[in-house]
Each structure stands twice: as C-alpha cells, then as structure tokens.
A and B are shown apart, each in its own frame.
Chain A
Amino acid sequence: MATVKTAWDQVSSNIFKTWLIMFLFSVFAFGVIYVISRAWLGPNIDALSIAGVSLVVAGVMNFVSYWWSDKIVLGISGAKPIDEKSNKDLYRLVENLCIAAGLPTPKIYVIEDTATNAFATGRDPKHAAICFTSGILDKLNKTELEGVTAHELSHVGNRDTLLMSVVSVLVGVIALLSDWYLRSMWYRGRNNEENKNGAIFMVIALVAAILSPLVATLIQLAVSRRRELLADASGVLLTRYPQGLENALLKISADKEPLEAANRGTAHLYIINPLKGKDIMGFMANLFNTHPTIEVRIKALKEMEGKV
C-alpha cells in the first residue's frame, strides 16, 4: 500500500472524468457535425450554427439522461420494484451491504427472466437503483449474490453509473448522426450536383461518418471495461470474500441464455455482457466486448484472495 487511494478519491475522479468526457465528446461531436453538415448542405449554409444547434440537442439529451436514465433503462428492461415486505431476504442482503459501504439503500428491481444477470443505474447514490433478474436470484447462493450486489453497489458508490449513462447517450448521438449522413449520401448520390470544394468535404465527411461511431464505441468500451475490474475489486473489499464473486461470475458465464430485455444500448450496464450468444465470435468479439473476459476477472479476483 504505497499510496492509499480512498473510495472517495475514486468518486471525485469519476465525476471529473464525466465532465472531461462530456467536454471531449462535445468537441468531437462538434467537429463531426460541422464536417458532415458542410458536406451535406454545401458551403453556402452556415454549418457552424448547425453544429451549434445539434450540440444543444445533444445537451438536452444529456440532461434527460442525467435525470431520467435510471427510469428509462428500468422501463426498457421491464423491471418491477420490490420492497422489504415482498422480498425480505433480497432487501436485507442489499441493505446490509449498503450499510457496510456507507450508501443509502437503493431502489431494488427484479426482471422476470430466467437469464442470470444484474445491473445498477442512477445518477448518484441517492437516486440509485439496482436490478436483478429472477434467474440470478434463483441460481446463486447467498455469498455469490452478495458478491454480485457488492460489485453493483461499487458502481453506484464510484459514480460509474453516472459516467456510463452519460457516455452511452453521447455515443448514441454520434452513431445516430453518422447513420443519418450515410443514409442521406445514398439519396444524394443520384443528384450529383456538388462543386469541387464540396467534394473534399464529402470525402472527409464520409470518413468521419464511418469512423466516428467506431471511435466513440471504442472509447465507451475502454471506459466500461476498466470499470468492471475496478468494481470487482472494490466489491470484494466490501464482502471480504473474493470467492463469492468468483463463483458467481463462473455460474453466470456458464449460463448461455441471453437476456431478452437487454440491447446494445444497455449491455455495458450489466455485470456480465447480457447479449452473449448474439455476439460475433473471435478477435472482433473481444475488441467490441463491453466487458473484460471472465478469465481476466477471475484471475484478478484470485490475486485478491487472502489479501483482504
């Protein structure tokens, strides 16, 4: 323990990173929008103000995601809330881990689905929600479930949930834009009425439209993968029992059933990639995976055994 980083440092660094990423993404999005609208509408149009307007739209979307991302995600996933009366064991398990983590007890939801998975969301601990599938509740024993819950609570405590929801909206905006542009190219190709200056922009815009969602997605993946390992580690500091999470990860990954309610937009929120079978295989799959491989995570957890 050379430099002791407290959990609170993690929080401030995540909040800082959220702002930084929002800023960088905004600059990036501004450039992409400018180039695309310039190419799309020709040099006579005020591309700069179009870019400005688009950023305002993106800002509004960000605002919406900041305040309502939890409700949107839970709504999409078809999650139902539970309380102490309707599921005492689960409620107490979460509540007790929250006391150990010094967090307020989040709202708890269950998705009726036999797939085994869980996720957390919400902009800060006071507005957090943690969600389990009924499958994970059936298949895991108490220590395993505690491992999973502690992992999710770490996401909440570290403000990963804030960062990730903001990132996913920004990535979504860029993907949407390039999609629009590529579609419009299809129609414009028939008209063929561009000038020389426009041609260069057309090429730049085309490259930007193809590459930017890729870059945005890669950033999202890099951000989310490191976060999973971090949440594993701080979750174990809470339960002091790495084997619990290890066994849970093994059980969850052995279960090949994909979660019906999950999609690409929400995949990175879950403890294990819920799309499983739906994904392409091999190197590409690894490159575009929202989560580190189970082997990497288990190995990291094994190293923690006996140390906590």
Chain B
Amino acid sequence: MIMYIVLGIIVLVVLWLLATYNGLVTLRNRVREAWSEIDVQLKRRSSLIPNLVETVKGYAKHEKSVFENVTKARSALLGASSLSDKAKANDQLTGALKSLFAVAEAYPDLKASENFKQLQEELSDTETKVAASRQFYNTNVLDLNNSLETFPSSIVGNTFGFTKEEFFKATNEEKADISVKF
C-alpha cells in the first residue's frame, strides 16, 4: 500500500517536472519570437532612413553634419547585435532624427513636400510599431522571469540552466517624444 503511495507521488513529481520544464521552454521561445518582431520593426525603421535623407538633402544640401549623424546612427543600429546595443543605437537614431526634423523646420518647401510628409508619417508609425513590439517583448520577458524567480518553478529553471532575460528599456528621451511632431 505504502509502496503504491510512494510510487504515485513519484509519478506526480515527474509529471510536474515535465510540465514545468516544457512551460519554461515555451516561455523562452516566446521571448525569442518577440525579440525577432522587434528586429523586424527596427529594420523597417532603418530602411526608411536613406529615402528620408535623400528627400531632405534635395532641399537642404548644406546641413551635412545632420545627415552624417543620421547615417552613422543608422549603420550603428544595423550593426548592433546585442539587445542593449540595439536599444542604445535606436535611441541614438531617435536623437539624430530629431535634429534632422528640427533642420527641416527651416525649409518651408521641404515641409510642404508630399514625399516628406509621407515619410514623416511612415516613420512615426514605425516608431509606434517599435514601441508596440517592445511592449510585447517585455510582457514575455516578465512572464519568463517571474517563472524563473518564483518557487517552485525556480528550482526547475536553475537546474536546467534557464537564464533570466533582459527587458528592452526605453530611454527617457524616447519616452518623452516618441512621435514626430508636425
């Protein structure tokens, strides 16, 4: 009788272990999937930049340093591989773009151009998409980290070498002004 009870308990523990392990794997995969979505949106953002720079150049040839900054920030973003590098490069790009749009303010013809308006709109939409994908990523990281920190799933997590993931943080600058103002 006692043997059966012990056997039953062992079976239950094994089942729980399997379920928890699989649950953690699923959570980790979701974080990775969410991460690739951020990547998609960041790429989309950087692919808009050359077109924008060309358009602004057509009206404001002399603002060389501004263009250089934007181009540099863009290649930094494309080159970044780790999460924190990407977050930093993305912030840099946001800053560079801000000065680009500040420059554009001085050129009424540019501001009136349909092409420029459309690019501005695209860019602002893409920035919303970056923010949205970041939110989804952070939600998934939170789920994973919670499971890894709370008892008893933390035991399984530590035993099988699961690691907590980093949140994708927005800097203060980005929080203050995400969209491009007209």
Which residues of A come within 8 Å of B, CB atoms?
A: 4, 6-8, 92, 95-97, 99-102, 238
Contact call A96/B132, Cβ cutoff below 8 A: yes
Contact call A96/B125, Cβ cutoff below 8 A: yes
Q: Which residue of chain A lies nearest to B138 when distances are taken between CB atoms in the complex?
A: A100
Contact call B146/A99, Cβ cutoff below 8 A: no
Contact of A4 (CB < 8 Å), options: B30, B34, B140, B146:
B146
Contact of B136 (CB < 8 Å), options: A6, A92, A95, A102:
A102
Which residues of B come within 8 Å of A, CB atoms?
A: 26, 30, 34, 37, 41, 125, 128-129, 131-133, 135-136, 139-140, 143, 146, 150
* B150–chain A nearest beta-carbon distance, Å: 7
Q: Which residues of B contact A102 (CB under 8 A)?
A: 30, 34, 37, 136, 139-140
CA separation between A99 and B146, bound complex, in Å? Answer: 22
How many A-B pairs with Cβ below 8 Å? 34
Contact call B150/A99, Cβ cutoff below 8 A: no
Q: Which residues of A contact B150 (CB under 8 A)?
A: 4
Contact of A100 (CB < 8 Å), options: B26, B125, B136, B143:
B136
Contact of A6 (CB < 8 Å), options: B37, B125, B129, B143:
B143
Q: Which residue of chain B lies nearest to A100 when distances are taken between CB atoms in the complex?
A: B132
* A102–chain B nearest beta-carbon distance, Å: 5
Q: Which residues of A contact B135 (CB under 8 A)?
A: 100, 238
Contact call A99/B136, Cβ cutoff below 8 A: yes
* A77–chain B nearest beta-carbon distance, Å: 28
Q: Which residues of A contact B37 (CB under 8 A)?
A: 99, 102
Q: Which residues of B contact A95 (CB under 8 A)?
A: 129
Given contacts A8-B143, A99-B37, 13 further A-B contacts (CB under 8 A): A4-B146, A4-B150, A8-B26, A92-B125, A92-B128, A96-B125, A96-B128, A96-B129, A99-B41, A99-B129, A99-B133, A100-B133, A102-B34
Q: Which residue of chain A lies nearest to B142 when distances are taken between CB atoms in the complex?
A: A4
**Can you give 17 contacting A-B residue pairs, CB < 8 Å?**
A4-B143, A4-B150, A8-B26, A92-B128, A96-B125, A96-B129, A97-B132, A99-B37, A99-B41, A100-B131, A100-B132, A100-B133, A100-B135, A102-B34, A102-B136, A102-B139, A102-B140
Q: Which residues of A contact B143 (CB under 8 A)?
A: 4, 6, 8
CA separation between A4 and B151, bound complex, in Å? Answer: 12
CA separation between A102 and B128, bound complex, in Å? Answer: 14
Report which residue of A8, A96, A99, A101 has the largest number of chain B beta carbons within 10 angstroms of its beta carbon.
A99
Q: Which residues of B contact A7 (CB under 8 A)?
A: 139
CA separation between A99 and B41, bound complex, in Å? Answer: 10
Q: Which residues of A contact B26 (CB under 8 A)?
A: 8
Q: Which residues of B contact A4 (CB under 8 A)?
A: 143, 146, 150
Q: Which residues of A contact B34 (CB under 8 A)?
A: 102
Report which residue of B37, B133, B135, B140 has the largest number of chain A beta carbons within 10 angstroms of its beta carbon.
B135
Q: Which residues of A contact B131 (CB under 8 A)?
A: 100
Report which residue of B34, B128, B140 has the largest number of chain A beta carbons within 10 angstroms of its beta carbon.
B128
Q: Which residue of chain A lies nearest to B121 when distances are taken between CB atoms in the complex?
A: A88
* A240–chain B nearest beta-carbon distance, Å: 8
* A94–chain B nearest beta-carbon distance, Å: 11
Q: Which residues of B contact A238 (CB under 8 A)?
A: 135
CA separation between A96 and B41, bound complex, in Å? Answer: 11
